[in-house]
Amino acid sequence: MKLQASSKLISDLKFPLSLAGYAGTRTANHIESPLEVNCVCLTEGEQKVLLISLDLLYVTHGLRASVLKRIQDLGISAGQLFMGASHTHNGPAIDETKPLLGEFDGESLKSVTESVVDAILATINSETHQVKVVIAQEEIEFGINRRRRRLIRVSKRGIQFRRVDMGPNPGGEIDPVVTFIGFRNDEQLLACLWTAACHPTGQPDTSALSADYPGLVRKRLRQQFSAMDFGEHSSLPLLFFQGCSGDIRPPSGRASRWSMKNLIKRIRLGPLFHPLSNTEYEQWTSQFAEKVCQLASRCKEIRDEGTLEYSRLERSASEFAIGASDSPPVSFHGVRIGSLVVIGASAELVSGYAPLIRPLTSDFLLIPVTCIDHVIGYWPMTYMFQEGGYEVDQHCRYFMIDACRPQIESLMLGHLKRIADGLTGSVEKLS
């Protein structure tokens, strides 16, 4: 298999900058950690696939369409372009369809588009290497479930029973599986890709442009592999794809201070999340980064690495959400690299989907990815509809939809199964 790769900063962003990720309007006046576009082009015979990761909340339909239009002379089809966002909540607001999650900034969209196109061109024009694919996978618990079931909740709406709300749930479901994939020749690592499932919402300064924990892990991995392979080489292309993190977030910080008001709030609402302090955030990210580096040092070569395939399916957003008739389509996208299958959906899947996706096809290692393309909302599991909560109905207004359809679990798994079967030979490959 042949590889070309590059890493580029998302540049020319103008401050003050409108940020996306939380309810309301926020602006950034400085950079806490740089945002990047990382791109890998894989080629096997006549087959070619581009994998692109972006430090953004979502890729969005507008960005993907603009990029495809700009690179149409390269002969890259929609199925060959796999784009995923890290889901940082401190990136530029480039999605005009979600005004409640950040004021749309058209100039930022233009800048991001230019950065992506530059990265693609730099990749296509870079040196080609014959590579082998190595992988390591391990369970690393670093996030916490945020769907807390409260027997009694006292709020302005009155007394509510057995309500699911947003709060620390240490015993709740998470997806701890972290995957590291490396592309290397006989001498050195040339590019890598890793996945994990946790909202990048730990950065204490919510008024700064930041790649959050994926950026800090990226920095630490580059330090490790620079020492091992490259000397002063610091721009190792390093892709990150978000996993099934819909109900997983960073751990809670300690309450800043004791007060009667906070005590009463705790009695009324139960345990709540507190922002991480700078020290807590540094400790949490540093510990996680070290574990990912240890995982990366234990890679093994995959089998059948000479196979490269892609498969893509688009469906109407109204199939999954009520009130989404005007939304861009939902996409399901898969790329097979030998015995690995990276398979993504343009939604925020909750963590319970991960153990259902991985066994969709036998004899292949399926790696679930979310936040590709244009995200239309959270996708809860069937049992969650009786519980309610942010991931079921409270998020809908931010995504300009009325409700998730109750059959969303079976629909989603059916489409992902079709993608997986197409890539592994069970059915004819989709276009």
As a whole number of angstroms, the distance between CA 217 and CA 307 comes to 29
164-188 burial, b at 16+ Cβ within 10 Å, e below that, comes to bbbbbbeebbbbbbbbbbbbbeeee
Q: Are strands 81-85 and 300-301 parallel, antiparallel or unpaired?
A: unpaired
| Per-residue model confidence (pLDDT) at position 231 | 35
| Per-residue model confidence (pLDDT) at position 6 | 95
**Residue 299 three-state SS:** coil
| Per-residue model confidence (pLDDT) at position 155 | 59
The one-digit pLDDT tens for each residue of the chain (431 residues) are 999 999 999 999 999 999 999 998 999 999 999 999 999 999 999 999 999 999 999 999 999 999 999 999 999 999 999 999 999 999 999 999 999 999 999 999 999 999 999 999 999 999 999 999 999 999 999 999 999 987 666 656 666 666 788 899 999 999 999 999 999 998 889 999 999 999 999 999 999 999 999 999 999 999 988 754 433 334 799 999 999 999 999 999 886 666 666 666 665 566 788 899 999 999 999 999 999 999 999 999 887 667 899 999 999 999 999 999 888 999 999 999 999 999 999 999 999 999 999 999 888 999 999 999 999 999 999 999 998 999 999 999 999 999 999 999 999 999 999 999 999 875 555 55
As a whole number of angstroms, the distance between CA 169 and CA 153 comes to 15
368 with 358: CB under 8 angstroms? yes
| Per-residue model confidence (pLDDT) at position 304 | 67
Domain segments of the chain as ranges:
130-431
Q: How is residue 396 written in tokens?
A: 């809908």
- Strand intervals (E) in 45-176: 47-54, 81-85, 91-92, 129-130, 132-139, 144-155, 158-169
Q: How is residue 340 written in tokens?
A: 């690995």
Answer left, alpha or beta for residue 162, where phi above 0 means left and psi between -120 and 50 means alpha. Answer: left
- Strand intervals (E) in 10-130: 17-20, 26-28, 30-31, 36-44, 47-54, 81-85, 91-92, 129-130
| Per-residue model confidence (pLDDT) at position 363 | 87
| Per-residue model confidence (pLDDT) at position 20 | 96
Q: Of 288, 138, 113, which Cα lies nearest the Cα of 217?
A: 288
- CA 100 to chain centroid, in Å, comes to 20
| Per-residue model confidence (pLDDT) at position 127 | 93
120 with 5: CB under 8 angstroms? no
* pTM of the predicted structure, to 2 decimals: 0.93
| Per-residue model confidence (pLDDT) at position 235 | 79
